[in-house]
Chain A
Amino acid sequence: MASLGSACLAVGLLTAAYAATASLYGARTGDRRAVVSGRRAIYCLAGLLIAATVVLQSAFLRTDLSYRLVAEGSSTDTPTFYKLTAMWATQEGSLLLWALLMSIFSSAVLFLTRRSLREIAPYATAVLAGVAGFFLLLMVAWENPFATLAVVPTEGAGLNPLLRHPAMMIHPPMLYTGYVGFSIPFAFAIGALITRRTGADWIRATRRFALIAWTFLGAGILLGALWSYSELGWGGYWAWDPVENASLMPWLVGTAFIHSIMVQEKRGMLKVWNVSLVIATFVLALLGTFLVRSGILDSIHAFGASTIGKQFLAFIAVVVVGSAWLVVSRLDSLRTTARLDSLMSREAFFLVNNLVLVGLCVVILWGTFFPLISEAMTGEEASVGPPWFDRVTTPLALVLVALAAIGPALPWRRATRLGLARAFRIPLAVAAVTLVALVAFTAAPDSPTSLAMFCLVALVLAVVVRELARGAAARRTITGDPWPRALAQLVARNRRRYGGYLVHAGIALLLLGVAASSAFMEQRDVRASPGESFRAGGYDITYERPTAAIGRDPAGTGAPISFGAVLTARRGDDVQTLRPARNFFPSRDPSTGAIGRFFEGEATSEVDVRWGLRRDLWAAIRPDIAELEPAIREANAKFADSSGDVQALVIAAIVERYRNDSPPAAFRVIDSPLVSWIWIGGAIVLLGALIALWPSPDARLRRVTSVYAARLGKELSRA
């Protein structure tokens, strides 16, 4: 079966090459048959890659250890969910995932545009085939997912315990959907540039894909943050690690793109800017994929020199140089005569918003690549840490929220002073009241930037609420509908606008959570013995008793041994129980001893979080098993050759020791306000994006009509 998988990839590479050639030939000679043939080749590619993925996943499901990937990333005792997701924990598997998503999305967009965009689509097909072909080439030549082992091991290495968390396993497919999604508008932009058809056609056809990509990329980033917060032992959700930044940068530029294409659709402006933005977004997506796999930057994920780093860099270089040349050579067809009427217009604000977003991206790019930059400039490799990132991004984030508040209240073309006053009277009042209340009743003034953020968030929410209220009121005067129906109709008939406003509200809430939790969290690191109490933030914490469990890992990760604690946290009348633990996974290194290997393998922190709307209580434990070591060493010597059952009993006895005679353990407890609003805000962004994406009924009608027209044309031509 593995050879079937390999064959799918090899034939896939040839198919991609054919697709590109046929499409280009058809485009240059006008031969429609070649174009259609090329498009069908992309459909075949999707089929081949689906088949290949099915082959690989079935190998994982059966734990077929003759596959190198299964042996390295899975095991018979890995839970089924993680067996299925182990594919993209590996280099080869993630390349396959990229190629799979690429072929499916390409097929979708080519199917949807099969009757339109006659001139552009063939070139777009060639570009998409080229990108898919690159990933296929990587797999066929260097990183084959279907490599088999000559000697089949009896057990696999198992999925890295740190990754055994649901959020972490959906995170890569979401990110890749985002990256791949942005390749669609990129390909059509290239096609538009080549054919000099730089009107809004390519945008119209790919706008939905850009929005879908943006949504998935954002969700992927948020899931990564959620994983960091709820799985890692440090209690934070964002560390400005190069890999985190690598996914954030295309998202920022993608956000700019989504806004500025609206300006091109409405006013025909910003053509050069738009093609440049989408090219930049795609390049950053490739760069993001490359950064995780190349080892050029020190980070948690950078794994030292990898085998495909150079190839990625070469591909990115080709894309950048090729695209730049195209843009410059087509500048004449990208010029517009439309000009900004006024600075107080939605267009102008979108432009400023774009500049801020691109500015944020540039800043983050600078900081991420600083080690390389400083080495090039000064000969010394230096790096900047989270404090620097926080310092430079905070002002830009504040400006962004302010823009998000003002933009929705502005009309297109130009606003009048009276209109502005009317639009902002109430929201500014709300923001002012918020400011006064926060200063008077809370500790918010201790952090001026947080205070500013809180007031701006209030402004955004007030503007959004006002837009909804006034819009619904306007509908009511016309239709006389009751409020809920008027509101629903308003949103349904203006999905893009109100979906967008909802996204703004979600982002504002997200940043509210970020500001509050970063500025006002209280963290306590202590060593405590059972029975001891200590204070963390606003809570009195008591270490009630230690816990020790064998084979019953509550988190579902399959860990055999789990040491933890029961903590009670008291705040006034509110009492909560926390059960942080540490899971121990067996090591495969025989030098640790037959018994010892169960205590010397990977260990992960199982954090316990009491989520709340006002605050989160977060606890992690690092139990001290040093005192068990003499017993473990003794057991290693005595029971090395005993049967599995006897060994299990010995381990159970040692584990019981911990419960009865427990040394002080190290705890980290964090009391942080409003963290949950990050995830809630994210969910609202998702909802808003879905609303904006939903096709409107009249669009559906129009498409049906054009299908009838096509049929009529066909029948007429036959008669």
Chain B
Amino acid sequence: MDPHRKRRLRLVVALSAAVLLAGALIYTSFSAATQASTPSDLLASAEPGRSYELTGKVVADSVGKDGDKLTFRVRDRDGTASVPVTYEGVVPDPFREGREVIVSGSLQGRTFVAERDSLITKCPSKFTKDDTST
């Protein structure tokens, strides 16, 4: 095979591989993704049993224990709509009332049941104007 055709063939193979891999990437990411939502989104339009990533602030005085599980309420960042959450697993060190959290799980009945170890608490803001120094 003359070198020109060899190079053309290599290019075609490489491009096809790239297209295939890109397709695989897009497919797997959309099928594995969990939708992010705020408490008001959840209250308005959540499908029961479907996995969501809930983001919001921990409501003051809402943190409690239910046996081994941690319970708290999450509200909209700027709002009052809130959702009760039941959580099992590692609680990150910065977790406390008023902090922003991200937790994955699904709505079961009226409660958001979280996946184990999925709680993430954002570091207290040091990088914004509204400092919440402790």
Contact = CB atoms under 8 A, between A and B. Distances in A.
B32 interface: yes
Contacts of B133: 72, 157, 588
A384 B33 contact: yes
A663 B133 CA distance: 31
A157 B127 contact: no
Interface string A86-108: 00011100000000000000000
A385 B122 CA distance: 16
B29 A367 contact: yes
B53 interface: yes
A606 to B, nearest CB: 10
Most buried by A among B35, B53, B93: B93
B46 interface: no
A162 interface: yes
B12 interface: no
A371 B30 CA distance: 11
Interface string A387-405: 1100110000000000000
A234 B117 contact: yes
A307 interface: yes
B49 interface: no
Nearest to B33: A382
A374 B124 CA distance: 28
A439 interface: no
Interface in B99-121: 100, 102, 104, 117, 120-121
B128 A303 contact: yes
B33 A374 contact: yes
Interface stretch (A5-13, A113-121, A597-605, A671-679): A597-605
B79 to A, nearest CB: 15
Given A381-B36, A382-B33, A232 B93 contact: yes
A232 B126 contact: no
Given A160-B124, A300-B122, A587-B134, A384 B32 contact: yes
A80 B122 CA distance: 27
Interface string B22-50: 00010011101111100000000000000
A493 interface: no
A122 interface: no
A392 B36 contact: no
Given A300-B121, A303-B125, A359-B21, A388 B92 contact: no
A668 interface: yes
A443 B114 CA distance: 32
B36 A382 contact: yes
A111 to B, nearest CB: 35
A25 B99 CA distance: 53
A303 B127 contact: yes
Contacts of B122: 298-304
Contacts of B30: 374, 382
A303 B14 CA distance: 41
A370 interface: yes
A383 interface: yes
A157 B134 contact: yes
Contacts of A91: 126-127
A383 B53 contact: yes
B91 interface: yes
A576 interface: no
A51 B92 CA distance: 39
B42 to A, nearest CB: 13
B55 interface: yes
Interface string A287-317: 0000001010011111111110000000000
A339 interface: yes
Contacts of A666: 68
B119 to A, nearest CB: 10
Contacts of A382: 30, 33-36, 53
Contacts of A90: 126-127
A603 B92 CA distance: 10
Interface residues of B, number: 40
Interface in A354-381: 355, 359, 363, 366-367, 370-371, 374, 380-381
Interface in B3-26: 3, 7, 14, 21, 25
Interface string B79-101: 00000000001111110000010
Interface residues of A, number: 57
Contacts of A615: none
B128 A298 contact: no
A527 B88 CA distance: 12
Given A232-B93, A234-B90, A588-B133, A293 B33 contact: no
Nearest to B102: A298
A363 B131 CA distance: 35
B61 to A, nearest CB: 12
A74 to B, nearest CB: 12
A421 interface: no
A291 to B, nearest CB: 12
A302 B123 CA distance: 8
Given A162-B94, A339-B7, A370 B28 contact: no
Contact of A303 (B32, B90, B123): B123
Contacts of B129: 307
Contacts of A525: 89-90
Contact of B125 (A161, A304, A601, A668): A304
B63 to A, nearest CB: 11
A339 B126 contact: no
Contacts of B32: 384-385, 387-388, 391
Nearest to B116: A525
A388 B127 contact: no
B128 to A, nearest CB: 5
A285 B30 CA distance: 27
A300 B120 CA distance: 7
A504 B92 CA distance: 35
A626 B93 contact: no
A232 B126 CA distance: 19
A719 B25 CA distance: 70
Contacts of B53: 382-383
Nearest to A307: B129
A601 B134 contact: yes
Contact of A370 (B33, B94, B104): B33
B115 to A, nearest CB: 9
Contact of B36 (A299, A383, A601, A603): A383
A299 B121 CA distance: 8
Contacts of A603: 93
15 contacts: A73-B126, A233-B90, A298-B36, A300-B122, A302-B122, A304-B122, A359-B21, A370-B29, A374-B30, A381-B35, A388-B32, A525-B89, A602-B134, A603-B93, A605-B93
Interface of B: 3, 7, 14, 21, 25, 28-30, 32-36, 53, 55, 65, 68, 89-94, 100, 102, 104, 117, 120-129, 131, 133-134
Given A90-B126, A295-B128, 5 more contacts: A73-B126, A299-B122, A300-B122, A300-B123, A391-B28
